[in-house]
Chain A
Amino acid sequence: MGEAFAYLLDGDSWSGSNGLGQQLVQQVLLTVVSLAVATVLSLPVALWLGHIGKGGAIAINISNIGRAIPVFAVLVLLSVGPVGTDVLGPFGRAGAATLISLVLFALPPIITNAYVGVRGVDPEIVEAARGMGMAERRIFTRVEWPLALPLVLTGLRLALVQVWATATIAALVAGPGLGNTITNGFANSRIDQVTAGAILVAVVALLLEGAAFAAERLVDPMRASRRANRHSQRTPSVPTVEPIV
């Protein structure tokens, strides 16, 4: 362990064309871009399906399907298959295959949680809003969206964790990212390098999760009211759907 920290503190480990610095930037870039793409592609559809109450079987089963499919297999199939392993700008070798895999594995938690979030809003509240003469659009923006937001954010946080983990595995197909420090360490029998890479990957994962968790708390519009009546009653929490990575 001590040697691993020495490796992390050594400036030479960070510099160079395949140093920790470049790999870290690559992996953060991959994570941010694929999460953004997955969100833009799936969140509006999932919210809309939740609003009209259709497609629930797909929205929920997509998480079950995603769980059964190995990330590594998808990376291998894409990079050996049609997508190939060409360098894609700042994303590095096999950048396209990695990006596509990351987006695919970010979709299930986003879709399932957004759908369940909107669908799970108490129908009586929606009826009350309708009775007050709210238009469908307003019902969604002023009633369903705020109530669904905690679960939507949980989905995004889970997707973030999933994407970061998947980006690490990309090194197994000689793709980009910090996993390379781990696989190179194994190839060169350098356990200090292996451990250093693992520590860095784990620490950044925890920081991302922590930041996402804090953002979730901060953005949740119901937080103030939940805190206010915490002592008066135990508010039933929203049912969480937590697909495992």
Chain B
Amino acid sequence: MTLAAGGSTFSASGPPCYSALVNDWICPAYVSDRRTEIADALLEHVLITLAAVALGFVLALPLALVARRYTAVESAIVAATTIIYTVPSLALFALLVNITALSPWTVIIGLALYTLTILVRNMLAGLRDVPADVKESAVGLGYGPGRLLLRVELPLALPVIMAGLRVATVSTVALTTVGTLVAYGGLGDLLSNGIRTDFKAQILTASVLCVALAVVFDALLMGTQRVLTPWARGRK
């Protein structure tokens, strides 16, 4: 306590609060002095998360459509995604290294595979919940299967799909940190570097940024959903 009290006068001329001597958890000087490094890690984190969720979404949609069509395939797809989901991230990345070597794709593909569990399920549930009479009216109006899907079914399934997307995105942000195993962990790289050097300011900053990033993504997706489903706004 006495050390901390004396710290203010000390830090004005002496070592900053993130030096090994002081090693404070909360240290604004660290954030401003190392902002380039932090921004780079944050950017990598955002890019990996976005790529993984986008890839997962692009894979999940056709899987959900096929599963909806053929019941036998549905249980196989749901079982396969559950099995992938059971494999711990550290092991999944380690297995993928055999295919992708040490590249960001190891992390992106691994995380995309995890999102399939929730995305495929929610897409299926959302599409199933579209009322049969609505679909019939659309067909009666001359909608073909493609237009029916794009203009009627997907918009009506959107709230459930977006709920899945939010869960998938938030957990992907958190799991990206484990990518540090192959040195592509975004903020996770700051964490593992921080533990090697006992760097408390870096560890706390990276942790807080990671949770904040998840919250921001979640809010953005919630906003997107409101914009995309104007008909749902009047209700409730």
Contact = CB atoms under 8 A, between A and B. Distances in A.
A72 interface: yes
Contact of A172 (B86, B181, B204, B210): B181
Given A68-B170, A68-B215, A191-B98, A173 B195 contact: yes
Interface string A154-188: 00000001001100110111100001001101100
Nearest to B84: A202
A180 to B, nearest CB: 10
Interface residues of B, number: 47
Contacts of A164: 88
A168 B195 contact: no
A191 B88 contact: no
Contact of B207 (A70, A201, A202): A70
B136 to A, nearest CB: 21
A169 B179 CA distance: 11
A219 interface: no
B178 A172 contact: yes
B91 A67 contact: no
Interface stretch (A52-60, A75-83, A128-136): A75-83
Contact of A205 (B86, B167, B198): B86
A9 interface: no
Q: Which of B170, B174, B185, B194 has the most CB of A within 10 A?
A: B174
Contact of A202 (B95, B117, B168, B192): B95
Interface string B37-75: 000000000000000000000000000000000000000
Nearest to A85: B195
Contacts of B109: none
Nearest to B89: A165
Contacts of B171: 67-68, 244-245
Given A72-B178, A197-B91, A67 B86 contact: no
B175 A182 contact: no
Interface residues of A, number: 43
Contacts of B215: 68
Q: Which of B91, B121, B178 has the most CB of A within 10 A?
A: B91
Contact of B118 (A81, A172, A244): A244
B180 interface: yes
B207 A183 contact: no
Contacts of B94: 182, 185, 194-195, 197-198
B167 A202 contact: no
Interface string A231-244: 00000000000111
A199 interface: yes
B97 A191 contact: yes
Interface in A40-84: 64, 67-73, 76-77, 79-81
B90 A201 contact: yes
Nearest to B210: A70
Sorted nearest first, the 7 A-B pairs with minimum C-beta distance are A165-B88, A198-B94, A73-B207, A201-B91, A68-B214, A198-B91, A70-B174
